[in-house]
């Protein structure tokens, strides 16, 4: 059934063998790491342009507007024009700010986003680093991002920035618990922390379908908590324009602001990619047990198409949230996590554990 799915590891293995025959192992490793880094940067630029345009068009549809339609066909080059504008803007450092931390904070946020990409499989055999502790690695590295936000808020020497950073810190630390428990639900059923093993375990059905109601609950909690972790509306108290001007990036301009802006959209892509991998099969095609002809047709669709299709579907859902629900107050935001999502997640994890022990899943 899976033989028809093209395996990109054949290309990467052949390239590795070709390089190994030409130069030393150290140079081979450096070249391969450089190529992986350039691909990640290229993906960042592409996603930044596409997701900003998608955000504007989705919001226009939600509000019965047209959206960007001047720069380029159907406004497709509007994001490029905005990037040029940000490149030309002067980057200022406020008086009294900690210059090193102020300048390093946006770099740290981008670095964290890039590191998280490593274990995510974009297709069959198309992964930067298939760690055997992929889920744990993602959970650990993603928690470093809040340090960059707190660093930016404190180093700006601005009360609005500091309050926004403190709100963001409390919000991210709180909702990380629910996200972690949601991921553990799938790990329990799979029996592995490796992302490729989790994808392969869904060859006969995605976990959202064969994991019954507890996995559906985990998926819903994951989507809500991930939206909060990325500081997206209705959980955008850290950047509440009506209260805090711009939150933790109030004092940032030019490319420093653009790096925070880009990191937000990259993080949206990352959490949706994780959700698609763990709950919706990642790059795995849609299969229905017993329908061999249908499954064979699905296998001929390239695996990256499946992965990006599922990921962008979840991105659309998160954007839908922004233009549907009003912003929560700080107390409502924390109450939702500590009184509702976290207790439900804990009970749900016990149910998934019982289900795994008894074998009550497809």
Q: Map tokens 């949601």 to a residue.
A: 182
Quick one: tokens of 75? 């406004």
| Tens of pLDDT, residues 229-272 | 888 888 887 777 667 777 788 888 888 888 988 998 999 999 99
Domain annotation covers residue 207: yes
Task: Look at residue 4 and tell me if it is in a domain.
Answer: no
Give the pLDDT score at 343.
96
Does residue 286 fall inside a structural domain?
yes
Long-range CB contacts (< 8 A, 24+ apart) of 72-78? 78/53
Task: Give the model's pLDDT for residue 231.
Answer: 85
Q: How far apart are CA 26 and CA 30, in angstroms?
A: 6
pLDDT given at position 151: 92
- Listed as ranges, residues in the chain with pLDDT below 50 are 1-3
Per the domain annotation, does 2 fall within a domain?
no
Residue 291 belongs to some domain of the structure: yes
Q: What is the pTM of this model?
A: 0.92
Model pLDDT, residue 362? 64
3-state helix/strand/coil string of 97-142 = CCHHHHHHHHHHHHHHHHHHCCCCCCECCECCCCCCCHHHHHHHHH
Q: What is the pLDDT of residue 318?
A: 94
Q: What pLDDT, on a 0 to 100 scale, did the predictor assign at position 1?
A: 44
In a domain, 1, yes or no: no
78 part of a folded domain: yes
Domain with 209, as residue range(s), is 9-358
Total domains in the fold of the chain: 1
Check residue 249 and report its DSSP letter. G
Calculated CA dihedral for residues 297, 303, 307, 308, nearest 10 degrees: -100
Q: Residue 54 domain-assigned?
A: yes
Question: Please, are residues 229 and 172 in contact by the beta-carbon 8 Å criterion?
Answer: yes
Give the model's pLDDT for residue 120. Answer: 94
Identify the bridge partners of residue 126 per DSSP, sorted by sequence position.
Answer: 123
Angle at alpha carbon of residue 180, lines to 182 and 113, rounded to 5°: 115
Q: Could you give the CA distance from residue 74 to residue 55 in angstroms, rounded to a whole number?
A: 14
């Amino acid at each position: 059934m899976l033989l028809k799915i093209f395996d990109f590891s054949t290309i990467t293995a052949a390239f590795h063998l070709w390089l190994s025959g030409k130069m030393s192992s150290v140079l081979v490793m450096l070249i391969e790491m450089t190529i992986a880094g350039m691909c990640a940067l290229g993906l960042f630029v592409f996603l930044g342009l596409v997701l900003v345009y998608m955000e504007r068009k989705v919001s226009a549809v939600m509000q019965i507007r047209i959206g960007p339609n001047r720069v380029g066909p159907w406004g497709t080059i509007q994001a490029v024009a905005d990037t040029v504008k940000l490149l030309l803007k002067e980057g200022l450092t406020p008086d009294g700010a900690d210059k090193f931390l102020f300048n390093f904070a946006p770099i740290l946020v981008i670095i964290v986003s890039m590191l998280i990409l490593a274990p995510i499989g974009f297709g069959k055999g198309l992964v930067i680093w298939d760690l055997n502790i992929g889920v744990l690695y993602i959970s650990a590295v993603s928690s470093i991002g809040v340090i960059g936000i707190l660093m930016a808020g404190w180093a700006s020497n601005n009360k609005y920035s500091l309050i926004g950073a403190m709100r963001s810190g409390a919000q991210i630390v709180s909702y990380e618990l629910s996200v972690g428990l949601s991921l553990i639900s799938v790990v329990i059923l799979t029996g592995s922390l490796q992302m490729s093993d989790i994808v392969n375990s869904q060859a006969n059905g995605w976990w959202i379908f064969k994991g019954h109601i507890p996995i559906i609950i985990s998926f819903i909690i994951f989507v809500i908590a991930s939206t909060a972790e990325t500081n997206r509306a209705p959980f955008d108290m850290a950047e509440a324009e009506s209260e805090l001007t711009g939150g933790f990036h109030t004092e940032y301009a030019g490319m420093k602001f653009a790096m925070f802006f880009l990191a937000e959209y990259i993080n949206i892509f990352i959490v949706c990619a994780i959700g698609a991998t763990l709950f919706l099969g990642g790059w795995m095609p849609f299969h229905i047990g017993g329908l061999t002809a249908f499954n064979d047709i699905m296998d001929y669709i390239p695996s990256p198409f499946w992965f990006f299709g599922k990921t962008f579907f979840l991105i659309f859902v998160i954007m839908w949230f922004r233009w549907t629900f009003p912003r929560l107050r700080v107390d409502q935001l924390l109450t939702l996590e500590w009184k509702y999502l976290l207790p439900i997640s804990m009970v749900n994890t016990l149910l998934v554990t019982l289900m795994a022990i008894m074998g009550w899943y497809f």
